[in-house]
Amino acid sequence: MPHDTCWPATRAPRYSLLFVLPLLLAYETLAFVLTHDAYAGVRNGADGLLKSAFVWLGGRNGVLWFGGALIGAGTILVVRDFRRAGGVTPRCFLGMAAESVDYALAFGSVTGLLTSALLRAAPMAAGMAGAFDLPTQLMISLGAGIYEELLFLTIG
């Protein structure tokens, strides 16, 4: 599939949602492993905002409802897109990965320094001792890319 065909195709759910799925799973797994709780503990702010509405409606089970809604909506979008446009081209995923690496290298140093400074200051501002460890910083960073976009999609 030539570049001019991959570029518009990767905007479709079958590409974008499947591409981000490993990041979502890594974030949720890290968050649960680090806190042993599906809701409490350190989380990305957008994650907390989105899930809090479901917790308000369904108590602690609201997090399960949120996960079900997220997975269900994503599955519906991907299946519908597969039916309309067919399969995926692995080369397009490679292009998406290369583009992601390019952006990470271009903007990563600046945002990494700013995030590191904020994450060092955040525990102290919240009355917590010390800075977040590397796994917690990684988990928060993974969640930012996913839940902030989901939040903007929801309110936009």
pLDDT tens digits along 5-60: 788 888 898 998 999 999 889 988 888 888 876 566 777 788 888 888 888 888 87
Q: Mean pLDDT over residues 127-142, rounded?
A: 74
Confidence of residue 78 (pLDDT cuts 50, 70, 90): very high
Around Cβ 135, how many Cβ atoms within 10 Å?
11
Residue 86 tokens read as 């067919």
pLDDT tens digits along 107-127: 877 877 787 777 666 655 555
- The C-alpha atoms of residue 134 and residue 154 are separated, in whole angstroms, by 30
- Domain locations along the chain: 3-155
Instruction: Specify the pLDDT at position 147.
Output: 85
Instruction: Specify the pLDDT at position 112.
Output: 73
